[in-house]
Structure 1
């Protein structure tokens, strides 16, 4: 029985050494330059990196990974696992606009993880060396570009003696409501969640054979849990093939995603809801006619609120290209549970429940499926710690072997988040901080506990207000709206809505604002204190694309939002 993904990699390299583990689209184009990595080569490079680390670090030491998108990250990550070194995936500095934020995050990761080594690409390492004086945190650290570690270093590799409880890596949370914390994910957590992903997404031997081993196409960031635990590591777990490319290339030309799905005909591919909206925005009739999406069995949608309107429009738009309605696959997970918690059915369309019988179908709540094998999901009254019956909204609690060990060197946060207990239920539970309800054993996620707005004694979920606003006028960008409450003094906390709008909306600000106010008033009985329209790219988001409402609120109060205009407060 495998003790780790490294055991599985070794087995695959022995049984089918020439099979392609990964192909990487260097330019993001299916007809452009492509790099290939066989299982034999992947095992060799992982062992070379591992041996280099073992020669310099004790077991359990931390190594920060700062690779640009590409296969070197995979070799560096698996090399850490093979060495018994704790991997710390990070975001490398990329360009001036991104540089400052990335450097701040990098400093935080180095300090919190106490990393001793930085593994990266050559350009990243050269950039860090050039900025050494401005980066005192890197003093005394060893830096190496993984490309510069020779193949023959693999000869010195030795088995690290891993157990299920050995920490494999630290997944730093994206920080949608708080400062990032390092989730300590063990080798046992990784293997268990791979079983959950495999079962929930139907990655059976029959499905693998039907697709000729082509199981994934992914542009998702590899340093983030969705891109790493799913497409990258499930590939190694199953011994199949994945096609990968950079998220930057996807954002530049979203058509590349579905072009790759058409070209390589994978079983599974997906991303957050905004990715489907981007694909829709570029779906010309000519482009749709050029595609064959009939092989796509799991189009997963997670990491941010799943919109019923997006599922409907995506299905309607790409049905002529062979996309099956039941392929749209909402799911739910989080880093603290390694990744996947619940997933839908491959044989039925996503469940939609009308939260308001008189409301629009596009505003329906979307089910995120049922728990994976060995996963327990409970909905709990967060104030009293008691389980709630089906249909009642509360905090989502999760139990099972995929739940991580805790937060790295943060005993208080670990105790508060990972050590919850429920009367009548065995074991400990993870408090996710997410709100939702169960219906026929299926999970419906409604929002974040810390984002909940209490106005005049009534609870309101910001996602509901944001969706109602976006449906009010086509100039508002889907998935780019933030609702929050602000203290107005005499009237107490009142709702504010900030929305990104297309550039041509400048001449219609008053009309758009009135429509948004009317939509929120009709659907939720709320009077918006202010509606603020801002330029595209203004609203802060996490690395996984989640809206940072607290950061948006702070920018609004500071007057630093890039407003299209300044509509009067009413």
Structure 2
């Protein structure tokens, strides 16, 4: 049995050297240029990066990875693992301003991880050197473009002595409710979670043979756990083939994702709920007529609330192209559990529950909750009262706690946060549990996620999930951008908590600001019996989000209180 992904890579390179491990669509289009990386070439470049790191005495250190979309990230990441270096995937700063948000995050990751080396793409490394006066941190760091590491460096590589407890990489959390923290993922965590992904998503030897090894297609950022653990590392775990395209190319033209699925016919592909909404927004009869999505067996949906209405509309729109409702695969995971915790059943429709209902429902658009499947083998999920820290009976909402071999070691150099999050104990249950900070309930063994513990809006003693308020607001007018609304509460002193909704709108909708504001108030009021104090319409792309696209409600709340939002029109105050 393999002890690491490095051993699996060596085996695949020996058994199927010419098989394509990864292909990258340079323009995002199937008829554009394509780069391929075979298992033999991947293994050689991995050893070259590893040998280069070992020759400089960097084994045991941390390496910050800053690669633009493409194939260079893969041998860089695996080269770190093969050298006994702890990889730290980061968001590469790009553009003239070096993307202030990415630059700030990069500095934070460098400081927290204590990275001694930066591996990146040529353009990124060149830009970092050009702006060195603004980055004094670079003085103490070795910085190299992985393309410039020579092939013959592979000759000096020495296989490290890796165990299940050896640290593989630091997966920095996206920071939706706090500053990013480095989750310490071991080689044992990696292998266990890849096993769970394989089992839950039905990536069996028979399926791989049926699909000719074409396992996954992905536009997801590789520095985020969903884009790394699934498309990149599950492909390597199984010796399969994955097709990649840039997140930017997908965002520019969402139809590229579906066109690539139609062309390469993978078994699995997916993303957060907003990705399916974007495809719907840009769907045309011409696009649908050009597609064949019949091979798409696992359309996973995770990382943010899964919307029943999205599943229904996507199925209706793309049914003519061969897409089936049974392909939808809601799932739940988090970096602290390496990635996957629960997943749906392959070839079975998602489980939908109506408000107050006691059993599965056929699938109306207003279903209150979408099931995220059952835990993988070896994973334990319990629902706990977060105050009393007692297990709750089935059907009751509480904090989701997780245990199993996929749960990471803890947070890098943060003993207090590790103890609070990873060392929870429960009466009547053996072992320690991970406190996820997510809310949900179990029904017939299936997990339903309802929100974030710290994001709850509490008004007049009633709990409201901000995701529900945001969805009601977004559906009130077509100019409101999907997945770009933040709802939160502010302290109004003696008057208690007041609700605020901040929403991005299309630039040409400024003249309708007052009308849109009224519609948002009405929609939230009717659906939730809740009065909205302020509705603030802002420019596209200005609501704070994490690296994985999650709304940072607390950061948005802070910007609102500081008067720092990029407002369109004048917000109406009630």
Per the normalisation by structure 2, the TM-score is 0.97
Determine the structure 2 residue equivalent to 1:457: 461
Determine the structure 2 residue equivalent to 1:274: 274
Q: Where does 1:72-151 land on structure 2 (aligned, <5 Å)? A: 72-96=72-96, 99-151=99-151
Change (3 A) 1:132 1:538: closer
Determine the structure 1 residue equivalent to 2:452: 448
Matches of 2:128 and 2:94 in 1, distance apart?
A: 12
Matches of 2:557 and 2:476 in 1, distance apart?
A: 22
Contact 2:53 2:59 in 1 (8 A): no
Contact 1:23 1:35 in 2 (8 A): yes
SS at match of 1:396: strand
The partner residue of 1:480 within 484, 489, 500 is 484
Contact 2:353 2:367 in 1 (8 A): no
SS at match of 1:362: coil
Determine the structure 2 residue equivalent to 1:555: 559
How big is each residue's C-alpha offset from its partner over 1:24-43, in whole Å with a ceiling of 9 and x where there is no partner? Answer: 11111111111110000000
Determine the structure 1 residue equivalent to 2:63: 63
Determine the structure 2 residue equivalent to 1:391: 395
Contact 1:307 1:362 in 2 (8 A): no
Matches of 1:24 and 1:393 in 2, distance apart?
A: 43
Contact 2:381 2:402 in 1 (8 A): yes
Determine the structure 2 residue equivalent to 1:224: 224
Matches of 2:315 and 2:414 in 1, distance apart?
A: 44
Determine the structure 2 residue equivalent to 1:495: 499
SS at match of 2:429: coil
Change (3 A) 1:559 1:340: same
Matches of 1:292 and 1:504 in 2, distance apart?
A: 35
Change (3 A) 1:99 1:516: closer
Contact 1:506 1:564 in 2 (8 A): yes
Unmatched tracts of structure 2, length 5 or more: 358-362
Determine the structure 1 residue equivalent to 2:370: 366
Matches of 2:365 and 2:32 in 1, distance apart?
A: 41
SS at match of 2:498: strand
Determine the structure 2 residue equivalent to 1:332: 332
CA apart distance, 1:99: 2.0
Determine the structure 1 residue equivalent to 2:442: 438
Q: Compare 454-463 and 409-418 and name the one that shifted more.
A: 454-463
The partner residue of 1:540 within 524, 541, 544 is 544
Contact 1:354 1:361 in 2 (8 A): no
Determine the structure 1 residue equivalent to 2:51: 51
SS at match of 2:463: strand
Determine the structure 2 residue equivalent to 1:162: 162
Q: Compare 99-108 and 254-263 and name the one that shifted more.
A: 99-108
Determine the structure 2 residue equivalent to 1:27: 27
- Is 2:367 the counterpart of 1:375? no
How big is each residue's C-alpha offset from its partner over 1:265-314, in whole Å with a ceiling of 9 and x where there is no partner? Answer: 00000111111111111110011000000000001111111111111111
Contact 1:176 1:542 in 2 (8 A): yes
Contact 1:370 1:442 in 2 (8 A): yes
CA apart distance, 1:54: 0.9
Contact 1:363 1:467 in 2 (8 A): no
CA apart distance, 1:97: 5.2
Q: Where does 1:296-315 land on structure 2 (aligned, <5 Å)? A: 296-315=296-315
How many residue pairs align between the two structures? 570
The partner residue of 1:412 within 404, 412, 416 is 416
Determine the structure 2 residue equivalent to 1:424: 428
Contact 2:343 2:372 in 1 (8 A): yes
Contact 1:453 1:461 in 2 (8 A): yes
SS at match of 1:21: strand
SS at match of 1:9: helix
Q: Where does 1:224-243 land on structure 2 (aligned, <5 Å)? A: 224-243=224-243
Q: Where does 1:522-537 land on structure 2 (aligned, <5 Å)? A: 522-537=526-541
Q: Where does 1:494-513 land on structure 2 (aligned, <5 Å)? A: 494-513=498-517
Matches of 1:349 and 1:392 in 2, distance apart?
A: 24
CA apart distance, 1:502: 2.6
Change (3 A) 1:149 1:183: same
CA apart distance, 1:356: 5.2
